[in-house]
Amino acid sequence: MVLYPSGDFGLVACYLIRQTDGAVTISRGDGFVVKLGAWKTANGAVTITSRTVYREIVLPGETIPGPEGVERFRGVFRDGNWYLAADKKRFRPMRGFSDLNFLATVIACDREYYDGEKYLDGPHPCMPAVGSPKGR
């Protein structure tokens, strides 16, 4: 989850891999889901309005982008860090995460290759080329 200072929001649901050197990276061999939207704070709560804009495996009958949804989290400041909490969800800063360039690419890429009903021609726009310098 990325809460940008501008109020923009991005989330990548994915598998993470801890490398032998301790670095944490996003798995390139498993699927992921991307949500985009906006966030704001009020009275100690964080409200996120977003929609799914990419899903590695498209589910029958599901359109991309998906419908807009709203989630509310409590902002908790503990041990010098902000945490977001709601029901069974907890988000906290991830130590050792070293895949920021790939995360930024996945959040910012053009996803126009799928129109909600059929795939369009062309290469997958959300995956950097194999061997990209930061694409561990």
Q: What is the pLDDT of residues 48-59, one digit of tens each?
A: 999 998 887 778
Q: What is the mean pLDDT of residues 93-121?
A: 74
Distances (CA, A) of 72 to 50, 101, 136: 11, 28, 33
Q: Are 9 and 50 in contact (CB under 8 A)?
A: yes
Looking up tokens 């798995």 gives 27
Q: What is the pTM of this model?
A: 0.76
Rg of the chain over Cα atoms, rounded to whole angstroms, equals: 16
> How high is the pLDDT of residue 131?
41
Please name the amino acid found at residue 96.
G
Instruction: Report pLDDT for 96.
Output: 87
**For residue 46, pLDDT beyond 60:** yes
Most confident residue range from 12-16, 28-32, 76-80, 93-97: 12-16
What is the chain's mean pLDDT, rounded? 81
> Residue 134: pLDDT band by 50, 70, 90 thresholds?
very low
The yes-or-no verdict on residue 86 having pLDDT over 60 is yes
Higher pLDDT, 123 or 132: 123
